[in-house]
Chains A and B, each alone.
Chain A
Amino acid sequence: MRALMSFLLLGASKLAAAVPAQNALEPLGVQAAGIHDLWRLTLLICTLVFAAVLAAFLYAIWRAPHSKVQLAPDVSTLDQPEPKLGRPVVIGVAISIVLLAVLIVADFVTERRLARLPLKDAVRIEVTGHMWWWGARYLDDEPSRMFDAANEIHVPAGKPVILKLNSADVIHSFWAPSLHGKKDLIPGRTSLLHFRADQPGVYRGQCAEFCGFEHALMAFTVVAHPPAEYEAWAARQRLPAPAPATALQKQGLEVFMRSTCAMCHTVAGTEAGARLGPDLTHLASRSMLASGTLPNTPQYLAAWILDPQKFKKGANMPATPLSAHELEALMAYLETLK
């Protein structure tokens, strides 16, 4: 397990050292690549049109006689019926229509192509938008194999993923541009998003529909593992949290249950089962805190627990006043939640 974690951290840090992939121009999944092809075609056609029209416009004003004073107007077209539209204008409109038709057909084709992603053996994840974090429930035909996580979507690379999108409050939008276009999470409705990450890696995404106060700080990562590693990761996630071993950790669990933590969060295998906040069963295995806002280090975690609003002004999590010893115990316990 430790080996897996270190691999993950290594992999993650390698990618983070570059730039987290959140770029529609750098597609890393088959869906985003399809859209990127369409983008290149559209950009090409639009650039040609832009150049052609601008050239015609500039040539027109270059060739027309210029004058600083008001000349007598040319009214020859006024007293007779308007001449038929000149050939260049008709040709220009005709070319516009043809090019638009090309773009519309290209769009249809792309759209159908995106819809035809083969979904055999797909991983199914139910993603629920909350103000301002993401819940993820990994679905399975066998209820005992389902598990919950938050703010990170782990998927096997090269395999299709079906996201079932819901919202617990307002409208959010799931968008990881390197993998696929966005889809809204609408209260009262369920929408589906299919994608496939073609290579292992970490992809960043964030909420794209204005969802109130901390809309800007509602990010997430999609972590794509090689399939075998994904299975190992999922197997680990299915386990309940380990029982605290040391005395300090036991005290930490007590703090967790006694303070406000347990009123909102779930830790599988303990009495904490509330669903208002993210599931913390495997908190220590995540790389970021507070929906992509802070790195998951003990320092940030402690600071976050003491005063979440300092980092995320609108966060619904209240500040938790703890003594130094209580905090130390709680941190010792939370670190066991791998």
Chain B
Amino acid sequence: MNPSPAVEPRNAVLDRTWSDPPGLIGWLSAINHKTISVRFMLTTFGFFAAGGVLALLIRLQLTVPDNKLIGPDFYNQLFTMHGTTMMFLFAVPVMQAVATYLVPLMIGARGIAFPRMNAFAYWIFLFGGLMLYAAFILDIGPDAGWFAYPPLAGPEYSPGKRTDFWAQLITYTELSGLLEAVILITTIFKMRAPGMTLNRMPLFVWTMLVTSFMVMFAMPSVMLASTALITDRLVGTHFYNPAEGGDVVLWQHLFWFFGHPEVYLIFIPPLGFMSSIIATFARRPIYGYPVMVLAIIATAFLAFSLWVHHMFATNVPELGKSFFTAASAMIAIPTAAQMFCWIATLWAGRLNFRTPMLFALSFFFILLIGGLTGVMLASVSLDLQVHDTFFVVAHLHYVLIGGAVFPLFGAFYYWFPKFTGRMMGERLGKWNFWLMFVGFNVAFFPMHIAGLRGMPRRVYTYPAEMGWGLLNLISTIGAAILAVGILLFVVNVLLSRKRGDMAGADPWAAGTLEWATSSPPSPGNFPRPPVVGSRFPLWSKDGVAGTVRGLADDRREVLVTSVNDAVPNHRAVMPESSPWPFVSAVAVTVLFIGSIFTPWAIVWGAVLCTPPLVIWFWPKRGPTQKNIEREVKP
């Protein structure tokens, strides 16, 4: 193996410079991207667990027909909170959380762009999520569905505060998502190690770049929609009130223009996980790198052109439906290209079946089913039969759990040594995987059949004579097995965290830059950032062509490079730790919570937000380094 930059001795001054300050204030002031990312991952996983518990309650209620266990009022809150949690508090944020840890390491940067904004984004995400769960526990949680269609979610049919919490929470957590997208795009475009041209970026970095751009285009649509909803509810506008010239279908267009790309926001980063894991455990670069990149980009473009397939049952003109059918089906083409490239990689590889690889390989089975049922849903006529039935519930869980959760768990097994310096238990890992895999399929496959046999979704009960009882019983058993599998994951993390085998810098003998530094990485990531000469710098002879010298150790200096070719431009000084992002997040949260009760909160909330934001951004005097010091080896 090549000498990696990790062998360079750690530098105490550098470590101190990039460390988070000690103490409680220091804890609240932390801005190091790894600290924030670990908190972010733990938080999103906490919400995943909460959403999972809700799902189990839903399954419990549906186990037998005519069940009286959970009434309609609580059931409607359950599935609303389950969907909202998984989509807004888990799926997209967890991808961004993992990315804020890995992307700087994978591109050889000492930090992340806008680190204070990163901390701010985390805090508002945390507060937004807690706010929603506080509402749920206080029995004012939303109950109009995670899709919140007006007029059901409007002022007339959802009086009270339930939907207000939902609408404001959506705007709020999406704000966090938007900030993270800005941070990731900037980091990826401007902070890559010298020599890491776009053409040499790891595929995971590509997926996060594409995902972040999608966030920039999709999130504003739902933020606009939910803001219009809250003004309908609080201020008395009539965006969605047909009696006053509004239109209830407007909501669906805005919501699904976000909602469908959202699925791909969740699904594209795992393509990067898959590529990282498969390359490492097949011991060769992914086959067809340019095809993979183009396929990711094509998927992102197509994802914006097919939102109407959620609305085939509304009055869409015939020709319009046909257009959206074609667009929806076409998205299978880039996915197919990627599948074939991975199969080619496996074909030509030398395989090693560790737990991360098992999770990655399960993707082929699960996503294939989810993708094919997706092609079925693209068809207008078939969709009119299966839309809003359990067939769709099955499909979307196959796509989201198979396409995102399984690769995500694989990614945790794969990168856990990097996060903690210790390996996760392999035996427990295999149990974890097989229980999840079997439980998942037992839980969700029967739902396809239930849906075709007429079972609509979002019903809290069904009559015995419909004959859906057995299928639902099987689903519930599967869900329990799946839950045990996930519980084993938690056990494995807790055990391995203290007692796992020591990992070393590169336990999998992988090829990308995050493995070039110690595990866990030092606060400044790389004592000397590497200069990259290959797509897999740790694998190829001249992959690490040298290291960057000349960055200060006693200031948070990072190297800023050009967008295409990663040619060094200048050195930038990153901000110091600060408690003000935290205080600002508290102030903004007060504004948002207030705005659920009175629109005047926007006014006094803005007054409250101003001082911390001003102090946060108050410019500090200090030397700025404009000239490039030519100490960088090309």
What are 26 A-B pairs at a CB distance below 8 A? A16-B465, A20-B465, A35-B384, A35-B385, A38-B382, A42-B382, A64-B347, A67-B351, A70-B352, A71-B283, A85-B288, A86-B344, A92-B336, A93-B340, A104-B329, A107-B322, A107-B325, A107-B381, A171-B152, A177-B385, A180-B384, A181-B385, A189-B249, A206-B456, A210-B458, A215-B459
Select the stretch in A76-84, A234-242, A245-253 that faces chain B. Answer: A76-84
Contact flag A215-B458 (CB < 8 Å), given A78-B540, A182-B313, A208-B388:
yes
B340 lies within 8 A of A24 (CB): no
Taking each of B247, B364, B379, B539, which has the highest tally of chain A beta carbons within 10 Å of its own beta carbon?
B379
- Does B138 touch A at the CB level, under 8 Å? no
Name the A residues within 8 Å of B322 (CB-CB).
Answer: 107-108, 111
- Does B615 touch A at the CB level, under 8 Å? no
A110 lies within 8 A of B352 (CB): no
B170 to chain A, nearest CB (A): 17
Our pick among A79, A111, A175 for the contact of B381 (Cβ within 8 Å) is A111
B347 lies within 8 A of A187 (CB): no
Our pick among A32, A50, A97, A103 for the contact of B379 (Cβ within 8 Å) is A103
Q: Which residues of A contact B (CB under 8 A)?
A: 16, 19-20, 22-25, 32, 34-35, 38-39, 42-43, 46, 49-50, 53-54, 56-57, 60-61, 63-75, 77-79, 82, 85-86, 88-89, 92-93, 96-97, 100, 103-104, 106-108, 110-111, 114-115, 131, 169-171, 173, 175, 177, 180-184, 186-189, 191, 204, 206-217, 313-314
How many angstroms from the CA of A313 to the CA of B372 in the assembled complex?
39
Smallest CB-CB separation from B80: which chain A residue?
A210
B333 lies within 8 A of A96 (CB): yes
Smallest CB-CB separation from B341: which chain A residue?
A89
How many angstroms from the CA of A71 to the CA of B156 in the assembled complex?
65
CB 8 Å contact bits of B346-368 with A (1 = contact, 0 = none): 11111111000000010011001
A184 lies within 8 A of B349 (CB): no
Smallest CB-CB separation from A66: which chain B residue?
B351
Name the A residues within 8 Å of B467 (CB-CB).
Answer: 19
How many angstroms from the CA of A57 to the CA of B452 in the assembled complex?
29
Our pick among B318, B365, B375 for the contact of A111 (Cβ within 8 Å) is B318
Name the B residues within 8 Å of A103 (CB-CB).
Answer: 329, 375, 379
Smallest CB-CB separation from A172: which chain B residue?
B152
Contact flag A173-B458 (CB < 8 Å), given A68-B352, A73-B284, A77-B284:
no
- Does B282 touch A at the CB level, under 8 Å? yes
How many angstroms from the CA of A175 to the CA of B352 in the assembled complex?
50
Contact flag A24-B313 (CB < 8 Å), given A19-B466, A93-B336:
no
Name the A residues within 8 Å of B157 (CB-CB).
Answer: 131, 169-170, 212
- Does B21 touch A at the CB level, under 8 Å? no
How many angstroms from the CA of A20 to the CA of B223 in the assembled complex?
43
B329 lies within 8 A of A208 (CB): no
Name the B residues within 8 Å of A96 (CB-CB).
Answer: 332-333, 336
- Does B535 touch A at the CB level, under 8 Å? yes
B343 lies within 8 A of A56 (CB): yes
A187 lies within 8 A of B536 (CB): no
B290 lies within 8 A of A216 (CB): no
CB 8 Å contact bits of B289-305 with A (1 = contact, 0 = none): 11100000000000000
Name the A residues within 8 Å of B509 (CB-CB).
Answer: 70, 73
A77 lies within 8 A of B71 (CB): no
A49 lies within 8 A of B372 (CB): yes
Smallest CB-CB separation from A96: which chain B residue?
B336
Q: Determine the interface band of chain B, counting residues with CB < 8 A from chain A.
A: 35 or more
Name the A residues within 8 Å of B412 (CB-CB).
Answer: none
Name the B residues within 8 Å of A131 (CB-CB).
Answer: 157
Contact flag A186-B456 (CB < 8 Å), given A19-B466, A73-B539:
no
- Does B511 touch A at the CB level, under 8 Å? yes
B456 lies within 8 A of A171 (CB): no
Name the A residues within 8 Å of B318 (CB-CB).
Answer: 111, 115
B456 lies within 8 A of A57 (CB): no
B282 to chain A, nearest CB (A): 7
Name the A residues within 8 Å of B249 (CB-CB).
Answer: 186, 189
Q: Which residues of B contact A (CB under 8 A)?
A: 71-73, 76, 144-145, 149, 151-152, 156-157, 242-243, 247-249, 282-285, 287-291, 313-315, 318, 321-322, 325-326, 329-330, 332-333, 336-337, 339-341, 343-344, 346-353, 361, 364-365, 368-369, 372-373, 375-376, 378-389, 452-454, 456-462, 465-467, 508-509, 511, 534-536, 539-541
How many angstroms from the CA of A182 to the CA of B454 in the assembled complex?
11
B387 lies within 8 A of A214 (CB): no
B337 lies within 8 A of A93 (CB): yes
B284 lies within 8 A of A210 (CB): no
Contact flag A184-B368 (CB < 8 Å), given A67-B350, A92-B340:
no
A187 lies within 8 A of B151 (CB): yes
Name the B residues within 8 Å of A38 (CB-CB).
Answer: 379, 381-382
How many angstroms from the CA of A66 to the CA of B282 in the assembled complex?
9
Closest 8 CB pairs of A and B: A181-B384, A188-B242, A216-B459, A22-B454, A70-B509, A107-B379, A60-B347, A96-B336
How many angstroms from the CA of A61 to the CA of B281 in the assembled complex?
12
Name the A residues within 8 Å of B344 (CB-CB).
Answer: 60, 86, 88-89
Contact flag A189-B315 (CB < 8 Å), given A57-B346, A61-B351:
yes
Name the A residues within 8 Å of B384 (CB-CB).
Answer: 35, 180-183
A24 lies within 8 A of B72 (CB): no
B460 lies within 8 A of A216 (CB): yes
B248 lies within 8 A of A188 (CB): yes
A50 to chain B, nearest CB (A): 6
B248 lies within 8 A of A100 (CB): no
Our pick among B287, B332, B386, B536 for the contact of A100 (Cβ within 8 Å) is B332
A23 lies within 8 A of B454 (CB): yes
Our pick among B145, B282, B385 for the contact of A24 (Cβ within 8 Å) is B385
Contact flag A100-B375 (CB < 8 Å), given A57-B343, A75-B284, A187-B248:
yes
Our pick among A19, A61, A73, A187 for the contact of B242 (Cβ within 8 Å) is A187
How many angstroms from the CA of A20 to the CA of B569 in the assembled complex?
72
Name the B residues within 8 Å of A181 (CB-CB).
Answer: 313, 381, 383-385, 387
How many angstroms from the CA of A209 to the CA of B322 in the assembled complex?
22
B466 lies within 8 A of A22 (CB): yes
